[in-house]
Amino acid sequence: MASGIRDKVAILGMGCSKFGERWDKEADDLMVEAFEEAIKDAGIEKNQIQAAWLATAIEEQHVGKSGIPLAQALRLPFIPVTRVENYCASGTEAFRGAVYAVASGACDIALALGVEKLKDTGYGGLPQRSRGALNSMFWANLSAPGSFAQLAGAYVAKHGCNAGDLKQAMAHVSVKSHDNGTRNPKAHLQNKITVDTVMNAPMVAAPLGLYDCCGVSDGSACAIVTTPELAKSLGKSDIISVKALQLAVSNGLEAQHNSWDGSYFATTRIASTRAYAEAGITKPREQIDLIEVHDCFSVTELVTMEDLHISPEGGAIKDVLDGFYDADGGIPCQIDGGLKCFGHPIGASGLRMIYEMYLQLLGRAGPRQRKQPPVFGLTHNLGGFPHQNVCSISIVGRYGA
C-alpha cells in the first residue's frame, strides 16, 4: 500500500537567481545563475546528476517546448531532461518529478529547475495590454485581476463581513509582504509601503487596487535532491527532507456545479488535507512554522489561510489584522516578500518558495531569519483561476521530525 514520500528524499542543495526586470539576461543566464548556487551548495559534480526536470509555463515566449534548453545551458552530461508545465504550479511540478524519481529508486540524484523570462515579451496579467498568443487568443475576455476580484466579492457575501474590513486586511497583507521584501536582496521589489498608499492606490478590478496585485518578473530557482542516506554520505549533517507533495486539479465542479459558491479554493482544501496526512501533521496551526502561499493577489493570500485549515472559516481577516501572519507572528507568511515582492516568473515561483523554506530551516536566511529555526515549512501554488485551477502543496522539514 502506498505510504507517501515522507523523509524518503532530502534536498541536497538549492539556488535562486535575483528576480526582477533582467533585461540584460536571457533565460539561459538565469538558469545558470540559479544552478551554480545550487550545485555549490550541494557539494557535488555536475556529472553526478542523473535526471533533470525543467519547469516553464509560457514556453512559446522564450525557451521553447523541450528540455533541450536546460541541457544546453547547464551542459548536462546527456541525461534525461523533462520539461513540465502546470500553470503557476509548474515549478513545484518539476520538484515533484525529481523527488519522485529519487523516492522510486530510479536515480540517486536529480535536478529540478524553473525559469521564466517574461519582461521582454510584454506578458502581463491584463490581456488587453499584453501581446502574445496566450493573451490575445485564449484569454482575450478574461483577466486575472477580474477573476480574483470576484473571489473577494463572494467571500464577503458568504461570511457577511464588512467589505471595508476585508479591504483593510488586504492592505495589511500587502504592507506586511513589502516590509519582508526589504530584507531580501533577491526580491524584485524592496520598498516599504503604507496602508494609506494601498487604500488610495488606483483601482485595477474592485476591490483590488494596484498594490493588491503581484507583478511580472524574470527569475529562476533550482533544487538538487537525493536520498537522506546519500546526503549524509556526502557530508550533510543537517538534513532537510521532503515531508509531503500533493497536487489537486479542478475536475469541473467549481465551474459547472452550483455547490461551489466562489468564496474559496476547493483544490487547496483538498491538497492541503492530503499533504498534512502524508506529512503526519494533525494540527497545522500549531505544527506548521512558516508558509509561502500563492499571493498573486492580496485576497488570494487571505482566503488561502482558511483553505490551508490554519485560520477558521471566516476568521482570516481577524488573524491577518492581529498580525498572526507577520514576520514576528505565529506563522509568518511570505517572510521573503512573496509573489508580491518577487513578481511571478511562472515556472520559477514554486521552487523559489521552497528555496526560502530551505534557507529558513537551515538558519541561513540572513536578516529575515526566524529567531527560532522552523521545523516544518509549507509552500502553496495556485495555477489558473478560482473556478478552474491546479493547486500544489509541498511540506519540507527537518529529517526525522
* Annotated domain spans of the chain: 10-125+132-137+218-238, 141-213+242-398
pLDDT at 1: 76
Q: What are the φ and ψ backbone dihedral angles of 240, each rounded to 5 degrees?
A: -105, 120
Cα dihedral 173→179→183→186 (10° resolution): 60
Question: Which residues carry out catalysis?
Answer: 88, 344
Q: What is the CATH number of domain 141-213+242-398?
A: 3.40.47.10
Q: What pLDDT is attached to residue 182?
A: 97
Look up residue 36 and give its three cell numbers: 551554480
**Cα–Cα distance for residue pair 224/14, rounded to 1 Å:** 6
Identical fold, 10-125+132-137+218-238 and 141-213+242-398: yes
Smallest CA-to-CA distance from 399 within 239, 232, 230, 275 is with: 239
Q: Average pLDDT of the chain?
A: 93
Q: Copy the grid coordinates of residue 77.
A: 552530461
Tell me the per-residue pLDDT of 66-87, one tens digit each, with 9 for 90 and over. Answer: 999 999 999 999 999 999 999 9
Per-residue pLDDT tens digits for 326-371: 999 999 999 999 999 999 999 999 999 999 999 999 999 999 999 8
10-125+132-137+218-238 maps to CATH 3.40.47.10: yes
Residue 96 pLDDT greater than 70, yes or no: yes
pLDDT above 60 for 5: yes
